[in-house]
Amino acid sequence: MPKNRYYYYDQEQCAFVEHRATRAQRVKKAAGVAVVALMLAGVYVWGFDRMIETPQELALKAENEALQEQLALVGERMAAFSKELEKLSETDQRLYRSLLEAEPISDDVRQVGVGGADAYEEYSRFSASTSSLLRQTARQIDQLERQIGLQNASYRELTRLAEEHAARMTEMPAILPADGPVVSGFGMRFHPILRVRRMHYGVDVLVPRGTPVVATGDGVIEEAGKGSGYGNYVKVKHPTLGYSTLYAHLSRIPGHIRRGRKVKRGEVIGYSGNTGLSNAPHLHYEVHDADGRALNPIFFFAPGLTPTEYQRLLEAAEQSTTSLD
């Protein structure tokens, strides 16, 4: 196909002359074509790049999506753990602290660390969805750490209180000190030797001479010796409770039962007798509080007896108006 030719009328020559472009015009035209071509190529490459991603970019995109899904799952699991901790906290408040007579944990303490300045501002540089997910996850982790720390502290306190409670229970003088009937109770009684009516500060257990006498609760031997009225006697201190128990008119005290020795509930600490101001073989038993006041021992026997046995014991103790010492 012949190349297009262009002519113009030359007045000097009075004729049509073929138009021929100068070198400068040809360069300018080529440059223009090149610029347009580059622009078109750039637009094409940009659009192609937007539509088609490299394998590395696709892998990173898939990895980011997987991480976001995993973070969301972790968030759900942490929310479930937080609910379980709340249940433990409620049990702590409602049951354990009530049973052990511990002060409840206040709401102010439970909310410590909540609120205040934005602690997750560093996540603001990410996209809105990523920033929100990271903030939520970090907030849940902080909440779990707070709940776990508070619950651990609570359980340490409850463990200490439970140990003290267990010690009090083992020290409680809750069993009969000798295997025999109670023939005289706590209160005003006629003394068979002094022939006067006076306060009887314990109970008399009628047993033959030489009957084993046991400690009614865990404790420490405070005194073991002879007194003018009590005869041979042993006094046991129950330090956690502050109580003390006294066992009098013994015929014999074993050699290892001496001041400072620890004894267990049910351990033999002596043998019944008729020493001191006593008119028959028996055991005189007393319970005193931390201030030295005498308490009615009958009330301490209830846990170790059935209701029927306890009622019979109470009636027998109240029936007699005369003591054996």
For 240-279, how does the pLDDT look when each residue is reduced to its tens digit (9 = 90+)? 889 999 999 999 999 999 999 999 999 999 999 999 999 9
- Identify whether residues 200 and 139 lie together within a single domain: no
Give me the chain's average pLDDT, please.
79
- Which of 44-59 are b and which e, b meaning 16 or more Cβ less than 10 Å from the residue's Cβ? eeeeeeeeeeeeeeee
Is the model's pLDDT at 95 over the cut of 70?
A: no
Identify which of 180, 194, 234 has the alpha carbon closest to the alpha carbon of residue 322. 194
**For position 1, what pLDDT does the model report?**
47
Print the domain residue range for 80.
55-171
Q: What's the total number of domains in the chain?
A: 2
**For position 12, what pLDDT does the model report?**
67
Please tell me the pTM assigned to this model: 0.59
Pair 177, 214: CB distance under 8 Å: yes
Q: Is residue 28 part of a domain?
A: no
- Identify whether residues 314 and 194 lie together within a single domain: yes
**Amino acid letter, residue 50:** R
Q: Is residue 124 part of a domain?
A: yes
The residue from 150, 171, 192 where one domain ends is: 171
- Identify whether residues 274 and 236 lie together within a single domain: yes
- Identify whether residues 218 and 137 lie together within a single domain: no
Is the model's pLDDT at 220 over the cut of 80?
A: yes
Q: Is residue 87 part of a domain?
A: yes
Percent of the chain at pLDDT > 90 equals 33
Give per-residue pLDDT as tens, 116-136.
556 677 777 777 777 777 788
- Identify whether residues 197 and 313 lie together within a single domain: yes
- Identify whether residues 148 and 204 lie together within a single domain: no
For the segment 285-311, the average pLDDT, to the nearest whole number, is 87
Calculated CA dihedral for residues 296, 302, 304, 309, nearest 10 degrees = 110
The whole-angstrom separation of Cα 243 and Cα 259 is 16
- Rounded to whole angstroms, what are the CA distances from 103 to 43, 107, 149, 194, 232? 74, 12, 18, 52, 45
- Identify whether residues 72 and 115 lie together within a single domain: yes
**Amino acid letter, residue 159:** T
**For position 221, what pLDDT does the model report?**
97
For the segment 23-42, the average pLDDT, to the nearest whole number, is 66
Calculate the CA 287 to chain-centre distance. 36
**For position 10, what pLDDT does the model report?**
63
For the segment 86-93, the average pLDDT, to the nearest whole number, is 69
Domain of 240, CATH number, reads 2.70.70.10
- Identify whether residues 215 and 120 lie together within a single domain: no
The residue from 108, 137, 171 where one domain ends is: 171
